[in-house]
């Protein structure tokens, strides 16, 4: 067995009944013209063959005397695929609204820990003839970038290609050659790795102190507890809501070119504008700007890269400039904040970046501890993350992937999560929220459109 790395085990230790630490990837496919019901029969059959399940999707967590009380990964070679992959038929003709309601209910159910931490639903019955593949994956196993690599790795840019695979299956082209299994690290290897990381952390302390002093002196980055209290920063219930929509990337790129920023900055400014409008219409807009935590990958974001296990990212904090009604000023401030954070992380090694992330994230922990006193300010207000995908349309055995939405985690003190995935010519926004703390969640979609429109008008002048 292999001990679960510290960064990954946080998701196992911190998981609660109302705060499951998994995400759902929602992929919508359009079948090719003339296809019949046998198409889904064939796809489902290919998704449930246990012989070809990837090793990453065979790992299950164990903990006991033999692991020193820590979590470790055991490999499950006897998968019951009926527990992992199920075919669901919504009452026909089902609208997207019914699909999202089903996914909201499914999201609230934690993954069972007596088997590998993933499940999937092949959903049919949508009114436009499309079908959905929803894959639920635990964050202790994979981060967002590597989830994306698994999700797209079995698809093809060729509509005529056959032999596509689901995210948890070994690609067809790799099955003929014997797979090289990496040997699991021994306890000695693990101890040596922990010792090496501790030594690297100690050596990085002077650099961390210098970077932290510069950030405070220059007021160049958002700090933990700079965020104002909002309805998004209370304990969450078990109920979930999800809303999603997509915007043409060219609209964001046009604004970015005019303003001299990046498309990601424009997306964050859209989030800032939408959150300002949402809170303002409820009479709850704080005087101080909202602060978001933005995950930054430490291993690159190329969607065609080799998928690895576990998490490798750093947490940076950035203002969303919700205290201004000027869309250009908001974009300028977001751009400056993200540039400073990227420069800071770029000047640090991986150990130092992880240490700063721990400081940024530690402030969000107390609210999830029963009986802990409430803090006057949250560490940050919400998480906004971006996951890149391919710019080309992809197909699963001739079925076009039309939309690709993320449904992310909602935790105590973090009742709202906005995750964006770029695919083909669009940027998809997946908004996940606590059903109680974030009422009328779908209103944020209209506010996102208004935020982008305001930026287009302002930058055109």
Q: How many domains are there within the chain?
A: 2
**Residue 171 CB-density burial (10 A; 0-12 exposed, 13-18 middle, 19+ buried):** middle
CA end-to-end span of the chain:
61
Same domain, 269 and 340: yes
Rg for the chain, CA atoms, rounded: 22
CATH number at residue 238: 3.30.559.30
Final residue of a domain: which of 174, 209, 239?
A: 174
Same domain, 300 and 154: no
- Answer yes or no: is 241 within a domain: yes
Same domain, 347 and 431: yes
pLDDT for res 17: 84
Residues 6+ apart with CB under 8 A from 346: none
- Among candidates 353, 352, 375, 348, which has minimal Cα distance to 364? 375
Same domain, 204 and 138: no
Q: For 83-97, 205-219, 389-403, which range has the lowest pLDDT when averaged over its residues?
A: 205-219
How much is the average pLDDT of 244-266?
97
Final residue of a domain: which of 174, 191, 221?
A: 174
Same domain, 66 and 213: no
- Among candidates 176, 387, 398, 421, which has minimal Cα distance to 300? 387
- Answer yes or no: is 88 within a domain: yes
Among 36-40, 92-96, 216-220, 399-403, the range of highest mean pLDDT? 399-403
- Answer yes or no: is 248 within a domain: yes
Same domain, 133 and 276: no
- Answer yes or no: is 190 within a domain: no
Q: For 165-174, 296-305, 420-429, which range has the lowest pLDDT when averaged over its residues?
A: 296-305
| Model confidence band, residue 303 (pLDDT cutoffs 50, 70, 90) | confident
- Answer yes or no: is 221 within a domain: yes
Position 202 pLDDT exceeds 80: no
pLDDT for res 66: 86
Mean of all residue pLDDT scores within the chain: 87
The kind and range of the H/E element at 427 are strand 426-434
Q: Return left, alpha or beta for 221; rule: phi > 0 is left, psi -120 to 50 is alpha, else beta.
A: beta
Residues 6+ apart with CB under 8 A from 192: none
pLDDT tens digits, residue range 91-102? 989 999 999 999
For the entire predicted model, the pTM comes to 0.89
Same domain, 149 and 41: yes
- How far apart are alpha carbons 433 and 426 in whole angstroms? 23
- Answer yes or no: is 306 within a domain: yes
Position 198 pLDDT exceeds 60: no
CATH number at residue 163: 3.30.559.10
How much is the average pLDDT of 133-151?
95
- Answer yes or no: is 192 within a domain: no
| Model confidence band, residue 300 (pLDDT cutoffs 50, 70, 90) | confident
- How far apart are alpha carbons 273 and 257 in whole angstroms? 19
Q: For 68-72, 163-167, 364-368, which range has the lowest pLDDT when averaged over its residues?
A: 364-368
pLDDT for res 158: 96
Q: For 171-180, 307-316, 399-408, 419-428, which range has the lowest pLDDT when averaged over its residues?
A: 171-180
Position 324 pLDDT exceeds 90: yes
Position 211 pLDDT exceeds 70: no
- Hey, which residues are catalytic here? 139
Same domain, 336 and 375: yes
Position 220 pLDDT exceeds 90: no
Q: For 28-42, 202-216, 293-307, 374-388, which range has the lowest pLDDT when averaged over its residues?
A: 202-216
| CB distance 188 to 341 below 8 Å | no
CB atoms within 10 A of CB 318: 28
Same domain, 124 and 222: no
How much is the average pLDDT of 120-134?
95
How much is the average pLDDT of 240-250?
95
How much is the average pLDDT of 61-71?
92
Same domain, 235 and 333: yes
How much is the average pLDDT of 122-134?
95
- Answer yes or no: is 271 within a domain: yes
Position 201 pLDDT exceeds 50: no
Same domain, 131 and 265: no
Domain span at residue 308 reads 200-392+408-460
């Amino acid at each position: 067995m292999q001990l679960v790395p510290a960064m990954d085990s946080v998701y196992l230790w911190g998981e609660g009944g109302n705060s499951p630490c998994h995400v759902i990837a929602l992929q919508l496919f359009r079948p090719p013209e003339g296809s019949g019901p046998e198409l889904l029969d064939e796809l489902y059959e290919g998704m449930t063959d246990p012989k070809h399940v990837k090793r990453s999707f065979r790992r299950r967590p164990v903990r006991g005397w033999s692991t020193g009380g820590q979590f470790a990964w055991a490999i499950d070679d006897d998968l019951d695929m009926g527990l992992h992959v199920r075919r669901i038929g919504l009452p026909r003709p089902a609208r997207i609204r019914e699909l999202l309601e089903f996914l909201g209910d499914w999201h609230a159910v934690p993954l069972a820990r007596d088997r590998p931490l993933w499940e999937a639903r092949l959903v049919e019955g949508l009114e436009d003839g499309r079908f959905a593949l929803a894959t639920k994956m635990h964050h202790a196993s994979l981060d967002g970038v590597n989830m994306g690599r698994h999700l797209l790795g079995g698809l093809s840019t060729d509509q005529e290609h056959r032999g596509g695979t689901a995210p948890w299956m070994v690609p067809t082209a790799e099955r003929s050659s014997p797979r090289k299994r990496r040997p699991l690290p021994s306890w000695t290897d693990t101890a040596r790795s922990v010792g090496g990381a501790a030594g690297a952390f100690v050596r990085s302390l002077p650099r961390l102190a210098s970077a932290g002093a510069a950030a405070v002196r220059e007021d160049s980055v958002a700090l933990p507890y700079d965020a104002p209290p909002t309805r998004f920063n209370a304990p969450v219930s078990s109920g979930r809501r999800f809303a999603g929509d997509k915007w043409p990337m060219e609209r964001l790129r046009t604004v970015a070119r005019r303003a001299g920023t990046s498309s990601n900055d424009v997306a964050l400014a859209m989030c800032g504008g939408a959150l300002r409008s949402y809170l303002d219409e409820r009479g709850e807009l704080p005087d101080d700007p909202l602060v978001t935590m933005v995950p930054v990958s430490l291993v690159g974001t190329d969607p065609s890269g080799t998928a690895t296990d576990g998490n490798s990212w750093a947490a940076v904090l950035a203002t969303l400039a919700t205290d201004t009604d000027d869309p250009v000023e908001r974009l300028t401030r977001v751009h400056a904040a993200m540039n400073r954070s990227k420069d800071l992380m770029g000047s640090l090694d991986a150990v130092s970046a992880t240490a700063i992330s721990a400081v940024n994230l530690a402030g969000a922990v107390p609210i999830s501890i029963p009986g802990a006193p409430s803090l006057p300010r949250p560490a940050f207000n919400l998480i906004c993350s971006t996951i890149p995908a391919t710019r080309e349309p992809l197909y699963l055995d001739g079925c076009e992937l039309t939309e690709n939405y993320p449904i992310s985690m909602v935790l105590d003190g973090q009742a709202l999560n906005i995750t964006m995935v770029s695919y083909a010519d669009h940027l998809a926004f997946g908004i996940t929220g606590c059903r109680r703390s974030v009422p009328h969640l779908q209103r944020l979609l209209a506010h996102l459109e208004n935020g982008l429109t305001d930026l287009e008008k302002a930058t055109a002048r």
